[in-house]
Amino acid sequence: MVKIAPSLLSADFAKLGEEAAEIKAAGAEYLHFDVMDGIFVPNISIGIPVLKSLRKATDMFIDVHLMIDRPVRYVEQFCSAGADLVNFHVEADSEEGILEAIRMAKKLGKKTGVTVKPATPAEAILPFLGEVDLVLVMTVEPGFGGQSFMYDQLPKIKRIRELIDSNGANVELEVDGGVDAKTAALVIEAGADVLVAGSAVFGKADRAAAVEDIRNSVKE
Ligand code: DX5
Ligand code: ZN
């Protein structure tokens, strides 16, 4: 069964604790927390103090997606603020910088992931595959919720599934961007284990139905 990771980016920031409780009750497995710095992506979202508050409000597994330049500078702070897993974009620093960030998070007892933007080839994950617990494939340009799913990323999702399997690695494959009850079936078929969904969950009044509709998506 695929895991569902609702993205808080589309939640009501005035009541994040209640939103988290609702998606937990809805049966979602991860809580996806999008961090943007206005440099790596052309938008600014939420950061360390918000994560700290949210950590007190929920015991859900928090999957932090760092869309920030040179994340090694802030990895310790996100870890101590309460991340369970920290995702680093491979484009955000040199290979050494990303490896250093991954190792720092692991030393602090956290799970880690590497993330690729749509234009980044599948093979870019290879230097990190032996180190991480998860690979996150973006199916929109990072920066905003509510964008349309990029169907041209499906072959890359399949390729990364093969790379993970042929390396015998115990690594989850997560997909983020434009995933809804319609596109989820294609993402699942391509080999994803974890589906991030922002607007397709928080844009619906009934969050439990929204989570189940994505999980049980069937190809049209
Ligand atoms: C985009 C974020 C996503 C976003 C997904 O930069 O990384 O997590 O919230 O939103 P939807 O599901 O609406 O595309
Ligand atoms: Zn995200």
pLDDT in tens, 175-218: 999 999 999 999 999 999 999 999 999 999 999 999 999 999 99
Ligand 1 and 177: CB distance under 6 A: yes
Residue 160, CA atoms < 13 Å, CB-side half-sphere: 33
Q: What is the pLDDT of residue 158?
A: 98
Q: Pick from 31, 199, 201, 214 the residue to mutate for probing ligand 1's pocket: most ligand atoms within 8 Å of its CB.
A: 199
- Mutate which of 115, 196, 201 to test ligand 1's pocket (most atoms within 8 Å of Cβ)? 196
Q: How many A from CA of 114 to the centre of ligand 2?
A: 12
SS3 65: strand
Q: For the whole model, what pTM was predicted? A: 0.98
Q: How many angstroms separate the most distant Cα atoms in the chain?
A: 45
User: Does the beta carbon of 89 sit less than 6 angstroms from any atom of ligand 1?
Assistant: no
pLDDT tens digits for range 68-109? 999 999 999 999 999 999 999 999 999 999 999 999 999 999
Q: How much distance in Å is there from the Cα of 30 to the middle of ligand 1?
A: 14
Residues with CB under 5 A from ligand 2 (ion): 34, 65, 176
Q: Minimum-distance ligand to the CA of 203?
A: 1
Ligand 1 neighbourhood includes 49 CB (under 6 angstroms): no
Does 32 contact ligand 1 (Cβ within 6 A)? yes
* Closest C-alpha to ligand 1, atom 4: 145
What is the distance in A from the centroid of ligand 2 to the CA of 7? 6
Average of per-residue pLDDT values in the chain: 98
d(CA 153, CA 132): 21
State which ligand 1 atom lies nearest to the alpha carbon of 147. Answer: 14
Share of the chain above pLDDT 70, in %: 100
> For the chain, what percentages of helix, strand and coil (3-state, to nearest 5) are there?
45, 20, 35
Q: Give residue 117's pLDDT.
A: 98
- Of 99, 52, 97, nearest in space to 79 by CA: 52
The dihedrals phi and psi of 146, each to the nearest 5 degrees, come to 75, 15
d(CA 12, CA 64): 18
